[in-house]
Amino acid sequence: MVDTKVDLCGITMDNPVIPASGTFGYGYEFAELYDINCLGTFSFKGTTKEPRFGNETPRIAECPSGMLNAVGLQNPGVEKVIKEELPRLAEVFSKPVMANVSGFSIDDYVYTTELLAQQEQVGWLEINISCPNVHGGGMSFGTDPCMAADVVKAVRKATGKPLIIKLSPNVTDIAAIARACEEAGADGISLINTLMGMRIDPGKRKPILANTTGGYSGPAVFPVALRMVYQVYDAVSIPVIGMGGISSAEDVIEMMMAGACAVEVGAANLVDPFASRDIIADLPRVMGNYGISCLRDIIGAAH
């Protein structure tokens, strides 16, 4: 019998698999397909202070071994999420959920964090300072250690619940930004968000995406994500959540050996809605293949 339990910022999860924000909606959509209580938890759709329609279409472009998206944080706004989405989620999910918070100013982050942190269902707050698909905010906070620290300090005052800061790979020194977040009061780091990319339609002679650029995700980014998780694990003493191209139980093991105590599964959910469920189901077999009896024992093993 293997032990798949992990601890994330003081909360024990049955397994380390977390569907990533933006790929799992508010959970109940997937609950129509299977019992989502098999998940460790999930990070619900990025939520902002005000409702957002998102970017113009086209928003999605296919790529070899992945996809580009420029959805632009479409969501109904934090007050509607609390009033309508979370009650629906409570009907199908009995575990603490991870709330993903996005913003365009520090005040935005604080406002949304305060409201979501008051919800009993919310176990962790994932503060997204790394979205590449919005203008006037998002990733700009996550590309400079001082700006990242300013956001963390502000939201730290807004809640005592665990704060996990989601970082961008579109930087020169991700370890420096992770350290700045830890020093400012972060309880954990999640990485990586998507890589910036684009596609061009040769027939139309213009970018495929209305936003011109988008976030590249999928299996092709896994080696980049793995490298950055490895670096950040060495740079901080707080938990790390690894994400980026994870699509199998083998990938989970590799990411945990790089230093992740949990993982997020993103694009794979869009290709196969059962991806996260199937990865969890396959974990015991893969653990057995490598002689792993307890997942907690392999965190950072490659160091």
Convert the chain into a string of H (helix), E (strand) and C (coil): CCECCEEECCEEECCCEEECCCCCCCCHHHHCCCCHHHCCCCECCCECCCCECCCCCCCEEEECCEEEECCCCCECCHHHHHHHHHHHHHCCCCCCEEEEECCCCHHHHHHHHHHHHCCCCEEEEEEECCCCCCCCCHHHHHCCHHHHHHHHHHHHCCCCCCEEEECCCCCCCHHHHHHHHHHHCCCEEEECCCEEECCEECCCCEECCCCCCEEEECHHHHHHHHHHHHHHHHHCCCCEEEECCCCCHHHHHHHHHHCCCEEEECHHHHHCCCHHHHHHHHHHHHHHHCCCCEHHHHCCCCC
The answer to whether the Cα torsion of 240, 244, 247, 250 is positive or negative is: negative
Q: Which phi-psi region, left, alpha or beta, contains residue 192 (left: φ > 0; alpha: ψ -120 to 50)?
A: beta
Q: Catalytic: which of 131, 146, 181, 294?
A: 131
Residue with tokens 């305060």: 114
State yes or no: is 131 an active-site residue. Answer: yes
Q: Could you tell me the maximum CA-CA distance found in the chain, to the nearest angstrom?
A: 57
Active centre residues (catalytic): 131
